[in-house]
Amino acid sequence: MLIEWAYRTPWRISHSFTAGWNNERMSGNRSGMAASSRVDVGFGSERGPILIALMLATSLVALESTILATAIPTIVADLGGFTQFPWLFSAYLLTQAVLVPVYGKLSDVFGRTPLLLFGIGVFAAGSVLCAVAWSMPALIAFRAVQGLGAGAVLPMAQTIAGDIYTVAERAKAQGYLASVWGMSAVIGPAVGGVFADFLSWRWIFWINLPLCALAAWVLVRNFREDTPSGPRPRVDWAGAATLAVGAALLILGLLEGGQSWAWTSATGIGIFAAGAALIAVFVWIESRAAEPILPIRLFTRRVLVTTSAVSCLVGAVVLGLTSYVPSFVQGALGTTALVAGFTLATMTIGWPIAAAQSGRLYLRIGFRNTGLMGAVPLLCGAALLTQVGVDSAPGEVALCCVLVGLGMGLIASPALIAAQSSVDWSERGVVTGANAFARAIGSAVGVAVFGALANAALGGAAADETVTGTPGAAQLADSVAPVFVAVLVCAVLLVSCVCLIPNRPAAAG
């Protein structure tokens, strides 16, 4: 069936094509709704092979985010470097995040396909290097290479989906892409464990190569973009460099502050000062550039400011759950790693279900009202999470996660689509990249804040343990409790930002 899809006539998109905002549809006109509902977004549609390619590309990053954690003990036993292994995640997140806005702008200049293929190629090269790594420092460096590729893959997949689908279709398409994360959350830990226990941890990286090849082949075979006529605009390389380095320093400071160095140390302060100075230089460059990497004027629009804030807080909430729910379920509730993984997976299962249905809602009631409907399960799930303890069952934690996932599906996807729909093709890459960048910043801030809260509580619990003999499970539960409270605070702030999103923003496509 996949081969049959792959050999269909390539689907072509012109740069003048717009998945335009239909005012008749957004006003609730029944004929408009009927017209949009007849369009099939599934695998069997004309654009089905492109959707498959985008899902395959997304799976590269999604699987890599879940499959590696299971094999860490085996990797450390083979390569050593126990104190260095957290950098396997930090290096990847850092390089993935810093170039996202640059990739977005480049896709508006050179097209989506070249950037997505570049990202897949770099990710594949990084995977090969990781598979042959001879030491922990080498593996960390090669994970950074993987991150450079991943930074292009995710925003390009979302941007292409925004290009080829109409406003009425985009929610369902984004739901398909989001479902990849749900499947990866279930499959990734199991596959990683099998490779680590029965084959070799190196297969975690080798397995990426056929997926990269298949995603690239299906995309090239089925998707065509018309090259813009006329001379291409000059790329603002100075702005790109200052943004990348400045953002890298700020994210590095957030990821490693309180871990590798004290927040108030000369190193910590110096990194933040240098990062802030470079960002200030970047803003100065952008204000004078003919073709800025991140046009400042775009972010005077209410819809883009509010949706970026939503994405930032989404990143923080998701980071809080993915980092601390498995540890809590396994360490405090005394379950296995598999049960802990499946508990978290309920969030990534509920998310795409809600995201796929959000399209019907925002066409009828608008983006803001759809997000406010998602606020109900989000706040309920986050509030219930603050009540779990050592006597809770894994099913109770799973219920909290699925509620948060349902809320996120009704908030995050409509927010992205509102941002994409407010601009035309020539700016959609920048806007999608900025949205992804904001989410990465939220994750980095979440790492710093949640880590500081957990460490502070853990220190207090450890002191109590020397006096009262508090068991380890209770100590862990006490350390995670303030993190879950902080997640609730972020959820409340997230809903506050949703209230500010225009319900039906004027859009270009």
Query: Is 8 inside any structural domain?
Result: yes
- Residue type at 214 in one-letter notation: L
**C-alpha span between 57 and 218 (Å, rounded):** 10
**Helical residues (DSSP H) of 257-293, grouped into ranges:** 266-286
The pLDDT, as a whole number, for residue 463 is 46
449-480 pLDDT tens trace: 887 787 777 665 544 444 343 336 777 777 88
Query: Are 184 and 315 within one domain?
Result: no
Judged against a pLDDT cut of 60, whether residue 363 lies above it is answered with yes
* Confidence label for 2 from pLDDT (cuts 50, 70 and 90): very low
Q: Confidence class of residue 84 from pLDDT cuts 50, 70 and 90?
A: low
Band the pLDDT of 82: cuts 50, 70, 90.
Answer: low
Indicate if the pLDDT at residue 326 is higher than 90: no
* DSSP tag of 45: S
Q: Which helix (H) or strand (E) holds 12?
A: strand 11-13
The CA distance from 229 to 238, in Å, is: 25
Condensed to tens digits (0 to 9), the pLDDT of residues 414-435 reads 888 888 888 776 777 788 888 8
pLDDT at 17: 41
Domain identity same for 74 and 202: yes
Give CA–CA dist 394/325, Å, rounded: 10
Cα–Cα dist 468/195, whole Å: 42
- 483 by Cβ neighbours in 10 Å (0-12 / 13-18 / 19+) ranks as buried
Residues 19 and 124 in one domain: yes
The pLDDT, as a whole number, for residue 122 is: 94
* pLDDT at position 145: 93
- pLDDT (average), residues 363-379: 89
Residue that terminates a domain, selected from 203, 225, 247: 225
Tell me what the mean pLDDT of segment 126-147 comes to.
91
208 and 242 share one domain: no
Nearest CA among 489, 354, 363 for reference residue 411: 354
CA distance 262 to 271: 12
CATH code assigned at 325? 1.20.1250.20
What's the pLDDT band for 29 if we cut at 50, 70, 90?
Answer: very low
The stretch 151-180 carries a mean pLDDT of 81
Tally of structural domains, the chain = 3
The domain of 44 spans 1-27+38-225
Whether 259 and 216 share a structural domain: no
**276 and 415 within one domain:** no
Same domain, 197 and 66: yes
Domain membership of residue 318 (yes or no) is yes
Using DSSP, state whether 257 is helix, strand or coil: strand
Predicted confidence at residue 379, as pLDDT, reads 94
Average pLDDT value over all residues in the chain: 78
Mean pLDDT of 90-99: 81
Own/partner contacts of 476-480, CB < 8 Å, gap of 24 or more, are 476/327, 476/328, 476/331, 476/332, 477/328, 477/332, 477/389, 477/390, 479/454, 479/455, 480/324, 480/327, 480/328, 480/332, 480/454
Residue 285 and residue 303 in one domain: no
Q: What is the pLDDT of residues 487-506, one digit of tens each?
A: 999 999 999 999 998 877 65
Please tell me whether residues 287 and 304 are part of one structural domain.
no
- The domain boundary, picked from 225, 256, 272, lies at 225
The amino acid at 1: M
What kind and span of H or E run contains 225?
strand 223-225
User: Looking at beta carbons, which pairs linking 297-302 to residues 24 or more positions away fall under 8 Å?
Assistant: 298/423, 298/427, 298/430, 298/431, 298/434, 299/434, 301/422, 302/500, 302/502, 302/505
Residues 193 and 283 grouped into a single domain: no
How do residues 168-214 score in pLDDT, each as one tens digit? Answer: 777 778 778 877 877 777 777 777 777 877 788 888 899 899 989 99
pLDDT in tens, 220-250: 888 877 656 656 667 778 888 888 888 888 8
pLDDT value of residue 15:
46
% the chain with pLDDT above 70: 83
The answer to whether residues 343 and 273 belong to one domain is no
pLDDT tens figures, 373-405: 999 999 999 999 999 888 888 889 889 999 999
Predicted structure pTM score: 0.76
Q: Are residues 414 and 469 in the same domain?
A: yes
Residue 446 covered by a domain = yes
Give the confidence band of 9 by pLDDT, cuts at 50, 70, 90: very low
